[in-house]
Amino acid sequence: MALWEIQKAKAFLPKKFCPPSCNCKSLGEMKGLHIDCSSRKLTEVPALPANTKRLYLQNNSLTSVPPGALDSLRSLEEVKIFDNPWTCDCHILYLKLWLEDISAPSLANIRCATPAPVRMKPLGQLTGNELGVCKRLLPIKCLEFFWRDLVLIAVAIITLLLVACALKFSKKLVCQIKLNQHNSRG
C-alpha cells in the first residue's frame, strides 16, 4: 500500500463514528472531526460526535433543530447550516440562541422559508414577536383539581374543628382541675 493511501485511510473515519449519509474526516489526533452532511436531503440533524470541529449541514431539508440537539458540540469551530427551508416560529428559538453563542456568521446566513410574514428574512434579525407563540397547551384536568382542592379544604376544616374542640376541652379540663384543687383545700 502506498504512503498516500495509508494517509488517506487515516483521514477518513470508520463508519461507526460518522453519521449515516455523511462524510467524516479526522483533522488529526486530538484535533477533532470534520463532518460534512451537506446536500444529503436530511430532514433532521443526525447524532454527532462530541469532538466535531467542523459541521456542514447546508443545502438539506432541515426545518428546525430540537432543543439540546447541538449542546454536546463544545469544541465546534465552524458550522454551515444555510440553504435549508427553516420554519421560523417559536421552535427555531433554540437554534437562534445556540448560533448567537457559537457562530454569529452562520446565524447571519440563515434565512427563513416559512411562515409567510418572515419568508427570506435573516433568522438573526427576527424578534420574539416575529417568532410567534407556540401554543402547546396541556389538557387541563379541572375535575382533578376540583377534587384535590375539595379534599384539601375538607382536611383544613376538620383540622380547625379538632383544634377548636381540643381548646374547648382543655379549657374545661383546666377549670375542673382548678375547681377540684379549690374544693380540696377548703
CA distances from 169 to 5, 56, 158, 178, 181 (A): 97, 80, 16, 14, 18
Are 28 and 105 members of one domain?
yes
CB 90 within 8 A of CB 67: no
How many structural domains are present in the chain? 2
Give residue-wise pLDDT tens across range 23-51: 999 988 778 999 999 999 999 999 999 99
Of 55, 24, 54, 61, nearest in space to 40 by CA: 61
pLDDT higher than threshold 90 for residue 22:
yes
The residue whose grid cell reads 377549670 is 175
CATH of the domain at 76: 3.80.10.10
Give the pLDDT score at 186. Answer: 62
Give residue-wise pLDDT tens across range 136-164: 545 556 667 788 888 999 999 999 999 99
Q: How buried is residue 83: exposed, middle or buried, by Cβ count under 10 Å (0-12/13-18/19+)?
A: middle
- Do the domain assignments include residue 148? yes
- 116: domain range? 3-131
- Do the domain assignments include residue 44? yes
Rounded mean pLDDT of 113-140? 80
CA 159 to chain centre: 43
Please state the pTM of the whole predicted model: 0.64
